[in-house]
Structure 1
Amino acid sequence: MKTILILLTMIFRHASADDSQHGRYISLYSFEQTVDRLKTVLKEKNIKVFCIIDHAGEATQAGLDLRPTRLFIIGNPKVGTALMQEDQETGIDLPLKVLVYSDKDGHTIVLYKKLLPIADARQLKNTHKVAATIDSSMNVLIKHVSQERP
């Protein structure tokens, strides 16, 4: 029994840590609709899309199967540069990343890697509030993309 409790504690700690690192939403829309909504909202908000990586398409070209998966690499240099000015190595974590994928149950998931845990780990003092604001804005954006019906 003690072993089971220890294992459960480890699992829940891992899940909590994972949740603190990412914003995760199950979309009300299909994969393609979610991708289209994300593109539209990013354009409306003047957030630059540096790249969209079609992981499933690349897997297919390699002769492998992967459920639909696209990685958006996005950002706003006017905002993100401040973080790198404080600690240039923050550039390894920027631009921001948003992953849209179909899970094994057929749900479309939108996952965002939060910036605040990165700012905490790098001990960013001057731009900590900037990272918190970015995370808050991204959570609102992703919720809008995945949850709101017109």
Structure 2
Amino acid sequence: MGDQGMVTVASAWGVGATIDRLQAAATGADLLVFARIDHAGNAARAGFELRPTELLIFGNPRGGTPLMRDRQTSGIDLPVKALAWEDADGKVWLTYNEARWLADRHGLGAGSESAVEAIETGLARLVRHATDPAVQ
């Protein structure tokens, strides 16, 4: 489902396992993992409750640099991110920004089209690996 430039996909695993699978898929595709943020853990340390929520920030300069060369402001949305989160019913979801939304948001030109397509295709493949039990 697309929502304000975001894609949200149901996951068959818990939040931690979903991010583990995404991280493994990303590193297996020669992407760099820049950070993994446990929002719920950070909230707990500050004395707050938050359902399981983790963010993975990952990418590759080969994918992001062409976008930033086109419009440097696209760097605010790069590297790419994916958020695994548990809803009030205990269902786990993985949400990420659509590459096309990024292109529209920053007014990227035709020169960025192939990089945008590669990011879109690559993200979809990684998300399938992280969320779909049929994908090994």
- Please, what TM-score do these two structures have when normalized by structure 2? 0.90
For the pair 1:34 / 2:18, whether they are aligned, the reply is: yes
Query: Aligned partners of 1:30, 1:120: CA distance in 2, in Å?
Result: 32
Query: Aligned partners of 2:122, 2:39: CA distance in 1, in Å?
Result: 26
Q: 1:105 aligns with which of 72, 89, 94?
A: 89
Query: Aligned partners of 2:45, 2:34: CA distance in 1, in Å?
Result: 22
Aligned to 1:118: 102
- % identical equivalent positions: 35
Structure with the larger strand share: 2
Once the 2 structures are TM-superposed, how far is the Cα of residue 61 of structure 1 from its aligned partner? Answer: 0.8
Aligned to 2:63: 79
Q: Which amino acid aligns with 1:127?
A: S
Write out per-residue CA displacement over residues 96-119 of structure 1, whole angstroms, 9 at most, x where no aligned residue. 110011111111111111121121
Once the 2 structures are TM-superposed, how far is the Cα of residue 79 of structure 1 from its aligned partner? Answer: 1.5
For the aligned residue pairs, the C-alpha RMSD in angstroms reads 1.6
Query: Aligned partners of 1:42, 1:129: CA distance in 2, in Å?
Result: 20
- Please, what TM-score do these two structures have when normalized by structure 1? 0.82
Gaps of 5+ in 2: none
Check the 8 A contact 1:120/1:128 in 2, yes or no: no
Moved more, 60-69 or 121-130: 121-130
Aligned to 1:92: 76
Runs of 4+ in 1 over 4 A off after TM superposition: none
Q: 2:33 aligns with which of 20, 28, 49?
A: 49
Q: Which amino acid aligns with 1:123?
A: G
Structure with the larger helix share: 1
Aligned to 2:116: 131
Q: Which has the larger radius of gyration?
A: 1
Gaps of 5+ in 1: 1-14
Check the 8 A contact 1:23/1:113 in 2, yes or no: yes
Aligned to 1:10: none
